[in-house]
Amino acid sequence: MHPYTKTDATDNYYCKLVNRIIEVLYDYDIMEGEIEPEDEVYEDTAIFLVGWFEDIISQTCVWQVFTSQCEKRYGSRLPFYEPGEDYYPDEINVEDVRFILWHCFQRD
């Protein structure tokens, strides 16, 4: 997802995290058998989740722009999900993960 080709230790950390998430998605088979091993849905989902995580950690704020625009336009920080009172815009929230999973799985 990055525009550069040279990697460093931080990139390696995120790559390992992607691989671990892929394993978890396959282990839990959250698509209930709809995903075949050659499908790229779990891989794409893991990359998207880790990209979101990296954005939050590095404070690049791409996710912040998305959620603030959703709130401005639709009155909620997330489409289709009403964040609870424990939702913190600058933090990692379960509602964000749910939305990202929905977004990734509905594409196929």
- Mean residue pLDDT of the chain comes to 87
- 40 within a domain of the structure (yes/no): yes
Query: How many Å apart are CA 77 and CA 86, to the nearest integer?
Result: 13
Q: Is the pLDDT of residue 3 over 70?
A: no
Q: Is the pLDDT of residue 54 over 90?
A: yes
Domain extent for 92: 9-106
- 1 within a domain of the structure (yes/no): no
- 80 within a domain of the structure (yes/no): yes
- 89 within a domain of the structure (yes/no): yes
Quick check: helix, strand or coil at residue 73? helix
Query: How many Å apart are CA 68 and CA 58, to the nearest integer?
Result: 18
- 14 within a domain of the structure (yes/no): yes
38 pLDDT band (50/70/90 cuts)?
low
- 61 within a domain of the structure (yes/no): yes
- 4 within a domain of the structure (yes/no): no
Prediction pTM value: 0.83
Mean pLDDT throughout 81-102? 91
Query: How many Å apart are CA 78 and CA 33, to the nearest integer?
Result: 28
Mean pLDDT throughout 55-70? 94
Number of domains in the chain: 1
pLDDT of residue 17: 96
